[in-house]
C-alpha cells in the first residue's frame, strides 16, 4: 500500500505480554496501525482481536526478534499491509528460571552440584547466554531493521525497555541484569547516532510491575506475599506493585513530538520510588 504522512504505524515486540499488550491497545486507540510481534501467535491473536473489536487496526506476526531474517520477513509484511514503521516499541525480553539462582550469595554447597542449592556456579551457561541474547539482540536487531526504514523517511521514534536492574544489581537475576544495564547504554548510543536522521530513541525502566510471571514469584497460592515480594515492597516507597496502564502516560509523552520533541537518549524510571530508596 502507499504511505502518506498521516499514516502512523507502530511495531510492538513482545506484544503478547502484559505490559506491551497494554501499550499496543493504547496506540491503536490513538490511531496507530499496530503490528504485534512475538514468538507465539496465540497471545498475539488475543490482543489483535481486542484491538479490532474496539475499531482499531492490528496484525499479528510470529517473529524471533533475535533472528535478523525473521525480523526482516516481519518488516516486509508490515510495510505491505500497514506501511512504514514510524514507532518501534522494543518490548520483547524476559527471563528464564534456569538462569536464576535460588540463593543470594555464595554457598559452598553449590560447588558440590548435588542439587541442594542453585548458585552461580551450577547455572546452565547456555540458558544464561540466551537470556542476555533475547534482552539485548532482541532489541538491537529490530532497531537495526526498522530503524533503517525510519532513517529513509527521516523520522521515527524508538522506545526500548530497561529495568530496575539497569541501575541496581538485584539478587538472583545476573543474566537479566547484565542485559538490562546494557539497554541504558545502547539507548544513549543509538539516540546520538540516529539524531541526524530525526529519530528519537529513549527507554522506559519499569519498576516491579505485575504480570503472569511475577505474580507467581510475588504471591503464594493463598494470595499472601512471598518473602521476595515483601523485600521488594520494603524498598518501594509507594508500597505497591505497578500495573500496566501506569506505563501509558510515560509512553505517550515520549512519542509526542510536541511534548518530547527535544528528548532523546534518556531512560525514564516508572518505579513507585524504588530507585529513590536504599531501604534504610
Walk along the chain (280 residues) and give the pLDDT tens digit of each residue: 333 446 799 999 999 999 999 999 999 999 999 999 999 999 999 999 999 999 999 999 999 999 999 999 999 999 999 999 999 999 999 999 999 999 999 999 999 988 889 999 999 999 999 999 999 999 999 999 999 999 999 999 999 999 999 999 999 999 999 999 999 999 999 999 999 999 999 999 999 998 877 788 898 889 899 999 999 999 999 999 999 999 999 999 999 999 999 999 999 999 999 999 887 7
> d(Cα 211, Cα 17) in Å, to the nearest integer?
8
- In whole angstroms, what separates CA 75 from the centre of its chain? 19
For residue 6, the model assigns a pLDDT of 61
Hey, what domains does the chain have and what are their CATH numbers? Answer: 9-96+130-207+243-271 (3.40.50.720), 212-241 (no CATH)
Distances (CA, A) of 75 to 64, 144, 204: 12, 11, 24
Q: Give the CA count within 13 Å in the CB-facing half-sphere of 144.
A: 15
For residue 100, the model assigns a pLDDT of 94
| Phi, psi dihedral angles at 238 (to 5 degrees) | -80, -5
| Phi, psi dihedral angles at 212 (to 5 degrees) | -60, -40
For residue 102, the model assigns a pLDDT of 93
Contacts with 74 (C-beta within 8 Å, 6 or more apart), sequence order: 11, 35, 37, 61, 63
Choosing from 32, 176, 193, 225, which is the catalytic residue? Answer: 176
From the list 9, 7, 18, 8, the residue with the least C-alpha distance to 161 is 18
Active-site annotation holds for 225: no
Q: What is the pTM of this model?
A: 0.94
For residue 3, the model assigns a pLDDT of 38
> d(Cα 141, Cα 121) in Å, to the nearest integer?
31
Contacts with 142 (C-beta within 8 Å, 6 or more apart), sequence order: 11, 13, 37, 65, 71, 88, 90, 92
For residue 217, the model assigns a pLDDT of 85
21 exposure class (CB count in 10 Å sphere: 0-12, 13-18, 19+): buried
Amino acid at each position: 500500500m502507499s504511505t502518506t504522512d498521516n499514516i502512523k504505524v507502530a511495531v510492538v515486540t513482545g506484544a503478547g505480554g502484559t505490559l506491551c499488550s497494554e501499550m499496543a491497545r493504547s496506540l491503536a486507540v490513538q490511531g496507530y496501525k499496530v503490528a504485534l510481534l512475538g514468538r507465539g501467535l496465540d497471545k498475539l491473536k488475543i490482543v489483535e482481536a481486542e484491538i479490532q473489536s474496539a475499531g482499531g487496526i492490528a496484525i499479528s506476526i510470529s517473529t524471533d526478534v533475535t533472528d535478523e531474517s525473521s525480523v526482516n520477513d516481519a518488516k516486509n509484511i508490515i510495510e505491505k499491509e500497514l506501511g512504514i514503521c514510524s514507532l518501534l516499541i522494543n518490548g520483547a525480553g524476559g527471563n528464564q528460571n534456569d538462569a536464576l539462582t535460588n540463593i543470594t550469595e555464595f554457598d559452598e554447597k553449590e560447588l558440590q552440584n548435588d542439587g541442594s542449592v542453585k548458585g552461580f556456579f551450577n547455572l546452565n551457561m547456555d540458558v544464561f547466554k540466551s537470556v542476555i541474547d533475547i534482552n539485548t539482540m532482541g532489541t538491537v536487531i529490530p532497531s537495526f531493521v526498522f530503524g533503517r526504514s525510519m532513517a529513509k523517511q527521516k523520522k521515527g521514534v524508538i522506545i526500548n525497555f530497561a529495568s530496575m536492574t539497569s541501575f541496581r544489581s538485584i539478587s538472583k537475576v545476573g543474566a537479566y541484569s547484565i542485559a538490562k544495564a546494557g539497554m541504558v547504554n545502547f539507548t544513549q548510543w543509538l539516540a546520538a547516532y540516529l539524531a541526524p536522521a530525526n529519530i528519537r530513541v529513549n527507554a522506559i525502566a519499569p519498576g516491579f510491575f505485575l504480570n503472569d510471571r511475577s505474580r507467581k514469584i510475588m504471591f503464594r497460592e493463598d494470595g499472601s506475599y512471598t518473602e521476595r515480594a515483601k523485600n521488594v515492597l520494603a524498598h518501594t516507597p509507594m508500597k505497591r506493585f505497578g500495573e500496566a496502564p501506569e506505563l501509558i502516560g510515560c509512553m505517550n509523552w515520549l512519542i509526542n513530538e510536541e511534548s518530547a520533541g527535544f528528548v532523546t537518549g534518556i531512560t525514564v524510571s516508572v518505579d513507585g520510588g524504588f530507585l529513590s530508596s536504599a531501604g534504610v
